[in-house]
């Protein structure tokens, strides 16, 4: 476990990268931060980085991040497709008291500073719902039923928030750290279903269950849009590479138009190829 970083700022947004040469997380991060800063210029941003690329990644990210916290790998993720096993370290690494964690593959063209108020009376908060591009609640019933069969409550890991230096938060992250360091042991003991690889949503849900914190899951306080519908074992290419089959525009007032719908909430695109699309190039140019 890393040495605890002292609180420097009252509130801020956290990103996490375990550097993976197969995914252009730095470019994703740059777009996410540019979009956030367009509407939330005063929000501080920190990157917690597990980095084996020397100064290359840090030098790139220094241009648009307020804090970079370079941490060692608590869990060796070499060779894994999903490099998520060290994300638990963001609790100790964060320089903020109030924290909003956001995945790198988001475009956030909205004011979100009011989200910090949700932590005034809560130690931490997760969400179990999102919207589709029409602005309707996206019902991921197959995915949720899969969780229920595991004896777990469904939860997303894409956006969550927490207070640092809080006993309940510390207990949760301590358990999450143990799960991620020994996920196969915990899965075998509490889920009794074989998994070939670790799943962060399952890690979080199990940690919430073991710390008696299921009440920290909300389904209506944090709104965001998922452009990549989630299905269990889906194979429909049109769902994954959605941007190849729909009309997308970046409007003059800095909003995304998806077919006939203006997307009014933060957008999660969940596709590493999307970052290199012509549409994203247009977004970059217009956010400078």
Tokens at 40, concatenated: 């939330």
- 217-218/159-163 β-pairing: unpaired
Residue 230 pLDDT > 50: no
Q: Give 195's pLDDT tier (boundaries 50, 70, 90).
A: confident
Give the domains, in start order, of the chain with CATH numbers.
9-287 (3.90.550)
Average pLDDT for 208-236: 78
Over residues 231-247, the pLDDT tens digits come to: 433 445 545 677 777 88
Q: What percent of the chain has pLDDT over 90?
A: 59
Token code pair at residue 78? 């070499």
pTM for the model stands at: 0.92
**How many alpha carbons lie under 13 Å from residue 134 in its C-beta half-sphere?**
5
**Averaged pLDDT of the chain:** 88
Q: Which residue has the tokens 């809080």?
A: 166
Other beta carbons within 10 angstroms of residue 180's beta carbon come to 23
pLDDT number for residue 6: 84
The residue that leads in pLDDT, 65 or 21, is 65
On the question of pLDDT at 1 being above 80, the answer is no
pLDDT per position as a tens digit, 168-190 = 999 999 999 999 999 999 999 99
Judged against a pLDDT cut of 50, whether residue 83 lies above it is answered with yes
113-158 pLDDT tens trace: 999 999 999 999 999 999 988 888 886 777 888 899 899 999 999 9
- Residue-level pLDDT at 79: 62
Strand residue runs (E) in 148-235: 159-163, 217-218, 225-226
């Amino acid at each position: 476990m890393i040495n605890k970083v002292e609180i420097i700022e009252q509130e801020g947004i956290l990103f996490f990268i375990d550097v993976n040469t197969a995914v252009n997380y730095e470019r994703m991060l740059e777009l996410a931060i540019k979009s956030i800063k367009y509407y939330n210029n005063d929000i501080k941003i920190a990157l917690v980085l597990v980095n084996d690329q020397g100064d290359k990644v840090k030098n790139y990210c220094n241009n648009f991040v307020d804090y970079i916290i370079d941490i060692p790998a608590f869990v060796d993720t070499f060779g894994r497709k999903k490099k998520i096993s060290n994300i638990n370290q963001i609790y100790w690494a964060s320089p903020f008291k109030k924290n909003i964690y956001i995945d790198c593959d988001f475009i956030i063209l909205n004011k979100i500073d009011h989200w910090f108020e949700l932590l005034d009376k809560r130690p931490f908060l997760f969400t179990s719902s999102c919207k589709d591009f029409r602005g309707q609640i996206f019902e991921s019933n197959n995915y949720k039923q899969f969780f229920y069969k595991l004896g777990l409550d469904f939860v997303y890991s894409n956006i969550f928030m927490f207070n640092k230096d809080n006993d309940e938060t510390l207990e949760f992250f301590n358990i999450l750290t143990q799960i991620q360091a020994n996920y196969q042991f915990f899965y075998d003991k509490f889920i009794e279903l074989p998994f070939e690889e670790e799943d962060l949503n399952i890690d979080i849900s199990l940690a919430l269950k073991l710390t008696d914190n299921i009440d920290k899951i909300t389904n209506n306080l944090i709104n965001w849009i998922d452009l990549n519908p989630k299905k269990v074992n889906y194979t429909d290419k049109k769902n994954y590479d959605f941007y190849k089959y729909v009309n997308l525009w970046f409007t003059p007032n800095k909003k995304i138009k998806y077919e006939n719908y203006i997307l009014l909430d933060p957008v999660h695109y969940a596709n590493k190829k999307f970052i290199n699309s012509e549409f994203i190039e247009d977004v970059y140019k217009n956010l400078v």
